């Protein structure tokens, strides 16, 4: 079994980006600038956003954290987004999801200018992605493609089973892997909460991508030998023995599934760090495009 080490791979990617940033600086050009908007005080979201800002510093990007109160009105948030759209100093920005219930997430996603939408969530960018045109590919599926690529995991002609149909992961992942691209050309089955006989389907998979958000959902009896398993889940469960008071669980029962797998991602240290590295890659792309 080979561990698909997202921590190490993302660190390699960040090193590559840092070299490019140093070159941009040397040429006297403006370095990439990412802004991140967070609404409210959700612990997990704050952790993710802070990790994104820290990663910017690490590679030499400029970064701006826009922290807004939980009770901000939708209109106020939309006007904050408008000012980021119009700020020439900022190359790309993200609005961390989920948002409080009184805010229409779709409206917010639509308000981000597609050229600054480094999350790749705007319908214009989702549409381009679906047509296999150059665009910002959202960071989590992009990170999974990159991880499979760097470990030379064959996808062409393989049967990939994606569990979960979210707009952020399951849906784009299934589209991308079915496309004619370097990491792609797979036969993809997308499954979800209404799927019948899921186990019969996952047992046929050469590659399983678990992105449903239920801790340790995928068990060893649901996969065949020599499977590749990508675990996108990251759920906090209480654990009094930990300093933080919680531990992180993926969607895969790692201990048992890893005994059957040829390749598998750990949680933490798998897909999570890759997401951050690919967000930086998209921000670098946004900077280069605006030259």
Nearer to ligand GUN, 97 or 220 (CB): 97
- 91 counts as catalytic: no
10 is in an annotated binding site: no
- 206 counts as catalytic: no
79 is in an annotated binding site: no
Residues that bind ligand GUN (CB under 6 A): 94-97, 119, 139-140, 168, 275
Least Å distance between CB 286 and ligand GUN?
Answer: 15
What's the order of all strands across the beta sheet hosting 187-191? 2-3, 261-264, 227-231, 207-210, 159-163, 187-191
Nearer to ligand GUN, 206 or 270 (CB): 270
Least Å distance between CB 120 and ligand GUN?
Answer: 9
Nearer to ligand GUN, 32 or 143 (CB): 143
Least Å distance between CB 95 and ligand GUN?
Answer: 6
Partners of residue 62 on adjacent β-strands? 33
234 is in an annotated binding site: yes
Burial class (CB in 10 A: 0-12, 13-18, 19+), 242: exposed
Least Å distance between CB 83 and ligand GUN?
Answer: 18
CB 108 within 8 A of CB 143: no
What Rg, from alpha-carbon coordinates, does the chain have? 19
**Can you tell me the distance from the alpha carbon of 60 to that of 192, in angstroms, rounded to the nearest whole number?**
40
Q: Which of 152, 120, 112, 114 is nearest to 137 (CA)?
A: 120
Q: Which listed residue (5, 14, 52, 231) is catalytic? A: 52
Q: Which of 212, 214, 209 is nearest to 261 (CA)?
A: 209
**Can you tell me the distance from the alpha carbon of 130 to that of 172, in angstroms, rounded to the nearest whole number?**
8
- 26 counts as catalytic: no
Q: Which listed residue (5, 117, 119, 251) is catalytic? A: 119
Nearer to ligand GUN, 139 or 252 (CB): 139
164 is in an annotated binding site: yes
Q: How far is CA 56 from the centre of its chain?
A: 16
Nearer to ligand GUN, 36 or 227 (CB): 36
Chain residue whose CB lies nearest ligand GUN: 97
Least Å distance between CB 275 and ligand GUN?
Answer: 6
User: Binding site for NADP(+): which residues?
Assistant: 164-166, 234
Instruction: Extract the annotated binding site.
Output: 164-166, 234
Q: Which residues are catalytic?
A: 52, 96, 119
């Amino acid at each position: 079994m080979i561990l698909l080490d997202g921590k190490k791979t993302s660190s390699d990617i960040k090193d590559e980006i840092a070299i490019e940033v140093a070159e941009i600086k040397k040429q006297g050009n403006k370095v990439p600038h990412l802004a991140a908007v967070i609404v409210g005080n959700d612990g997990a979201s704050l952790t993710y956003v802070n990790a994104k800002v820290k990663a910017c510093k690490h590679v030499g990007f400029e970064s701006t954290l826009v922290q807004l109160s939980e009770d901000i009105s939708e209109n106020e948030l939309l006007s904050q987004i408008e000012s980021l759209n119009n700020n020439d100093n900022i190359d790309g920005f993200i609005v961390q999801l989920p948002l409080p219930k009184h805010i229409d997430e779709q409206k917010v996603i639509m308000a981000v200018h597609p050229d600054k939408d480094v999350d790749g969530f705007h319908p214009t960018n989702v549409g381009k992605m679906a047509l296999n045109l150059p665009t910002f590919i959202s960071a989590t599926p992009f990170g999974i493609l990159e991880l499979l690529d760097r470990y030379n995991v064959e996808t062409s002609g393989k049967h990939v089973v994606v569990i979960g149909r979210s707009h952020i992961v399951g849906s784009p992942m299934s589209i991308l892997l079915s496309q004619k691209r370097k990491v792609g050309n797979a036969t993809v089955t997308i499954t979800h909460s209404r799927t019948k006989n899921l186990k019969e389907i996952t047992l046929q998979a050469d590659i399983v991508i678990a992105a449903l958000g239920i801790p340790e959902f995928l068990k060893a009896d649901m996969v065949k030998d020599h499977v590749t398993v990508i675990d996108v889940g990251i759920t906090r469960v209480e654990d009094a023995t930990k300093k933080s008071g919680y531990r992180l669980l993926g969607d895969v029962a790692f201990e048992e599934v890893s005994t059957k797998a040829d390749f598998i991602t750990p949680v933490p240290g798998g897909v999570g760090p890759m997401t951050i590295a690919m967000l930086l890659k998209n921000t670098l792309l946004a900077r280069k495009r605006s030259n």
